[in-house]
Amino acid sequence: MTDAKDAAPTADAAGRPAANFIEDIINADLAAGKNGGRVHTRFPPEPNGYLHIGHAKSICLNFGAAAKHGGKCNLRFDDTNPITEEVEYVDSILEDVRWLGFRWNGEALYASDYFGKMYECAEHLIRAGKAYVCDLSAEQTSEYRGNFYKPGKDSPYRNRSVEENLDLFRRMRAGEFPDGSRVLRAKIDMRHGNLNMRDPPLYRIKRASHHRTGDAWCVYPMYDYAHPISDALEGITHSICTLEFEDHRPLYDWCVENLPLPAQPRQIEFARLNLTYTLMSKRRLLQLVSEGLVTGWNDPRMPTLSGLRRRGYTPEAIRAFAERVGVAKNDSTVDVGLLEFAIREDLEKRALRALAVLRPLKVVIDNYPEGRVDWFEAPNHPDDPSLGSRKVPFGKVVYIERDDFLESPPKKWFRLSPGAEIRLRYACLIRCTDVVKNDKGEVVELHCTWDPASRGGDAPDGRRVKGTSHWVSAAHAVRATVRLYDRLFTVENPGAGGADFRASLNPASLETLTEARIEPALAEAKPGERFQFERLGYFCVDTVDAKPGAPVFNRTVPLKDGWSKIAKSGK
RNA sequence: UCGGGGAUCGUCUAAUGGCAGGACGCCAGACUCUGGAUCUGGCUAUUAAGGUUCGAAUCCUUAUCCCCGAACCA
């Protein structure tokens, strides 16, 4: 179940809660008196990879639908293929769902818990003449299946007797036959227009150690067979999955109808989430990890929940994002900008503000006494006094952002330039009097004068100073590593049209700055703590690499940059 | 050539025969000790062609385009 606050969906202008077609179906089922008024959903990940933002949509949908109707939502691992499944993935999924803010009904469940029941169901089908053991090889099975345009033909083993099928199936289970030598198949219709109904395999022989059942089984059920059974056994009322399972629904229903099951769950399909400039397939995410193209599943550039978490995303932002993208059956690709909006929106109101300079430019205040230190009061949040304030030290030498000075400024440049006056945030006004360059002509140092009357940042004579820069005192600042993350790919849809997605990896997706300077108060920040570095963006202390005395910050998302827009438009 | 789905602002998404609405984005302005935030105003859409109807995004017909499907994967 979810927290109370999770249940509050966004509302439209008329104040109606956001609805979607699944909600409509549930309401209609409720109105029709189905399932005794119960709503019970489930989130069924396969533990063969880490959860990503697309799963978050599904999690929010499933837990949200249940919560909305006072129902329950199970967390069930769909672990019917031991070859690809691992406990590492189970653990990460548990952690990610919990982190997202959802609490599942009872214990986490596993499809593998039902292997026994599934086996009994298989014998039931055999006895009913609705399943048979087939000796065709995988290749032959494929041939016999026909294709989109050609009907299939019956397997020569299709009409074995119940007794022979039972005997063979029991011996399959007992380990008498080699892997791949036989399968148990549903006896449906080899000429069905839907290939999934052409006598689909139900059980295959696979000698693989399972992460939970070990070597207890050498036959494992297929998804199409295991899923409806698992759902029914758990009393699931609405089994929500993605669109690619739409034409598996007839088989889902066939299982529900032909098996002695305690409930009749209903499968409903919705469009999976796609995001621009990223990848959402577990297979390809795994490839990024295994080929070392990223540092791991939790690389802050990954769309995984563990990556987003390390990047500094909050569960609240991800939930708000999931609510905003909606639920429908249209194939769609959401602009990653919407995700960025969600995290900015959340952090804007909660993140404490701080001063940090990413690329320092030395500024000497010529008329400021040597050795003097002023401590200026800076609010932790300019719009929320309840978040308190802190004192920041100011001295004769400060650093400002290199980007905040231009020797020959364009029109509408409010920042520093020779002769210009700006405000140092919360401190004072300074005017640039001299520019020092090195042999290569690069600006290496600025000389300024300060207006002692402008202490705190306001000019007593009322003169207007439009530009405000962030800064740190050279004598007090702490050196930090700051990682600037950008989108992982340079194209909206990496790998589109069969291209190698690795070819469109963004070489600038990570820029590591080692000369950054942060205000002293920030040096105490704990791993995972989030801040807004004023005028720059939202940053968090890295949970893996930050060490006491060696702070490392990750940029979650930059602030919207109005200046770059003006500069670009050339106006 | 088959089966299953789907086409609404640039992007998501509402509408359930009755004013095409919201969000993001974008544009303009106000305000601002963050060129941030906030506030105001604005922009942009029913795939096409017929039909039914007082009235169609919605119903019917015919096209067109897109997605999924031929693992002993899920």
Has residue A38 got a pLDDT over 60?
yes
Has residue A303 got a pLDDT over 60?
yes
For A97, other C-beta atoms within 10 Å of its C-beta total 22
- CA A331 to C1' B6 (Å) is 7
Mean pLDDT of chain A: 95
Q: What percent of chain A has pLDDT over 70?
A: 96
Has residue A569 got a pLDDT over 70?
yes
Tens of pLDDT, residue by residue over A464-489, are 899 999 999 999 999 999 999 999 99
Mean pLDDT across the stretch A131-157?
97
Q: What is the pLDDT of residue A11?
A: 40
**What are the residue numbers of the active site of A?**
46, 272, 282
The pair of three-digit structure tokens given for residue A84, joined into one six-digit string: 């690809």
Of A176-180, A214-218, A350-354, A461-465, the poorest mean pLDDT is in A461-465
Q: Beta strand pairing status for A389-394 and A374-379?
A: antiparallel
For residues A26 and A61, the answer to whether their CB atoms sit within 8 Å is no
What DSSP string runs through A405-442?
B-SS--TT--SB-TT-EEEETTTEEEEEEEEEE-TTS-
> Which nucleotides in chain B have some atom under 7 angstroms from a protein Cβ?
1-8, 10-16, 21-28, 33-38, 66-74
A77 nearest nucleotide via C1' and CA: B74
- CA A330 to C1' B21 (Å) is 19
The pair of three-digit structure tokens given for residue A142, joined into one six-digit string: 């494929």
Alpha-carbon distance of A398 to A405, in angstroms, equals 14
Instruction: Determine the protein residue whose CA lies at the shortest distance from the C1' of B11.
Output: A335
Q: What is the pLDDT of residue A207?
A: 97
The ipTM value here is 0.96
Indicate the burial class of A284 (C-beta count within 10 angstroms; 0-12, 13-18, 19 or more).
middle
- CA A318 to C1' B56 (Å) is 38
Tens of pLDDT, residue by residue over A90-113, are 999 999 999 999 999 999 999 999
Tens of pLDDT, residue by residue over A498-528, are 889 999 999 999 999 999 999 999 999 999 9
Tens of pLDDT, residue by residue over A45-70, are 999 999 999 999 999 999 999 999 99
A324 nearest nucleotide via C1' and CA: B23
Question: For residue A571, what pLDDT band results from cuts at 50, 70 and 90?
Answer: low
For residues A102 and A163, the answer to whether their CB atoms sit within 8 Å is no
Give, for A58, the enclosing helix (H) or strand (E). Answer: helix A53-68
- CA A243 to C1' B71 (Å) is 18
Q: Which amino acid is at A16?
A: R
| 3-state secondary structure (DSSP) of residue A105 | coil
A331 nearest nucleotide via C1' and CA: B67
b/e code A523-533 from CB counts within 10 Å (16+ = b): bebeeebbbbb
Has residue A200 got a pLDDT over 50?
yes
Q: What is the pLDDT of residue A6?
A: 28
Q: What is the pLDDT of residue A460?
A: 87
